[in-house]
A and B are shown apart, each in its own frame.
Chain A
């Protein structure tokens, strides 16, 4: 259980910083115009019944 605690600490500490770094990479897309986020990586979807 002590090992599990250390693993949780490592995932939570460096892991959260890594996710935050990826968020900063996407920041311009998220803040930009409505279409840009998905258009640049080809992931924009039109939602709704199909």
Chain B
């Protein structure tokens, strides 16, 4: 336990965890069938949708990942990485959500299956599982346990994940959304209070920039062109985001989810800015010798708040971090398990499961999902890289087929979706395995493979996989569409 983190702080965190379990028990009695469990019976209203969207989509990957990126790259973490997302959040609200509401599906893979058949549904279920396995947030809870409670990281992971698992298994999306509401206010309030205090103690971004040099405030920092391209590509994720889809299907009405996504966009932007500012402040405090010189980027946020906040408020902030992690762990565990059982199993076997079997299997698989997330979290040194890998798998598998379903239905032919989904999924996973086995470590903690092209040697980083897999997935979609057209003409 850190010196500043006292008994009051610990009591706040423990009280918060007990409250979450209480909500799970309260909502458990409302679950009658799989629809109740997976999309809360389709009765969520705008305020609850705002709470659950904001807290779910922003977990420790954003909280720790953005502050980590700001620590290394300065304000570019906001301009180059976060800002492109807002365009696609708004597009998801205005363009995607209303079209999704016209479908009768309750999950992203089911949309794929209805349009392209069982193989595409199974591929989408697997991609959604990889994307949704809460790798970063599970690892982050271990970091919090180690930093503030002196626990072994794996013990922190297991305790945090078990509590999230308990109330999710009990109450499904309703328990998840209700706890998200509390987690939303705790994470937003704690970040706002921490930023206000650090702002007074350390100074604003301009003052920090004057001390660190202009590079810290350069809009694009030291990021290379290919990194900017990958960031822009990853920012398209909200258009095919499983949690967005689930909540769109769970909304009581179309305008409720549209409003929620638009309000959420403003809150996400504010949260990003505050977290990036705290990462920048951490870099300033390291340069001034007030934080350790060997401070790791992923721990900068916790180090800054431990430095700045008094007892009590520090406990609130740690509870906010736990809230950010748990709201992501519970939601994505539910989605990952639901996708495998409801979509993957039914698509592969061709057998419809009863509500009772669906509920039992999803609850059991939730535990397996968390164990898988824990294992995967060990493969990444930087949080941002894990997030890019997960987004690459999802985008490469479902991006083009889903856009076709929603915007150009006449292009959504069975082979087009099937080819695109299977090729995209296979290639993105194959690239990842190739980089893990053949890649050499780079200075920024990633892996790269040297490629010779036209006599010039080029280092291709693992995170560039998206730039390869996404165009190939589009080519596969076009090939499938052409094959279907040729078949129709010859028939």
Contact = CB atoms under 8 A, between A and B. Distances in A.
Interface string B274-287: 10010000000000
Contact of B189 (A16, A37, A43): A16
Contacts of B41: 34
B47 A19 contact: yes
B199 interface: yes
A1 B204 contact: yes
B45 A30 contact: yes
B48 A30 contact: yes
A32 B50 CA distance: 19
B44 A2 contact: no
Given A15-B270, A16-B184, A16-B189, A34 B43 contact: yes
Nearest to A14: B192
A45 B102 CA distance: 10
Contacts, number: 135
B249 interface: yes
A37 B43 contact: yes
Contact of A1 (B27, B102, B205, B270): B205
A6 B185 contact: no
Interface in B159-198: 174, 177-178, 181, 184-185, 188-189, 191-193, 195-196
Interface stretch (B250-258, B288-296, B337-345): B250-258
B181 A15 contact: no
B490 interface: no
A23 B104 contact: no
Contacts of B267: 11-12, 15-16, 19
A36 B322 CA distance: 33
A43 B252 contact: yes
B188 A5 contact: no
Interface in A1-24: 1-2, 4-13, 15-17, 19-20, 22-23
Contacts of A45: 101, 252-254
Interface residues of A, number: 35
Contact of B255 (A16, A17, A25, A43): A43
B102 A20 contact: no
Contacts of B252: 37-38, 43-45
B7 interface: no
A20 B52 CA distance: 11
A20 to B, nearest CB: 4
Contacts of B185: 16-17, 19-20
Given A16-B267, A34-B43, A47-B104, A5 B195 contact: yes
Contacts of B188: 12-13, 15-16
B450 interface: no
A11 to B, nearest CB: 4
A11 B188 CA distance: 9
Nearest to A23: B47
Contacts of B274: 5, 8-9, 12
Contacts of B103: 47-49
B416 to A, nearest CB: 20
B249 A9 contact: no
B389 interface: no
A10 B195 CA distance: 11
Contact of B48 (A5, A8, A11, A26): A26
Contacts of A50: 102
B47 A25 contact: yes
B372 to A, nearest CB: 31
A47 B249 contact: yes
Contacts of A4: 273
A22 B403 CA distance: 34
A28 B135 CA distance: 34
Interface string B234-268: 00000000000000010011111000000100110
B311 interface: no
A49 B102 contact: yes
A26 B104 CA distance: 25
22 contacts: A2-B207, A5-B195, A5-B274, A8-B270, A8-B273, A9-B195, A11-B270, A12-B274, A15-B188, A16-B192, A20-B185, A22-B46, A30-B48, A30-B174, A31-B174, A37-B44, A37-B45, A37-B252, A38-B253, A43-B255, A44-B252, A49-B103
Interface of A: 1-2, 4-13, 15-17, 19-20, 22-23, 25-26, 29-31, 34, 36-38, 43-45, 47-50
Given A20-B181, A26-B48, 15 more contacts: A1-B205, A9-B196, A9-B274, A12-B267, A12-B274, A13-B196, A16-B185, A19-B185, A19-B267, A25-B47, A30-B177, A31-B30, A47-B42, A47-B104, A48-B102
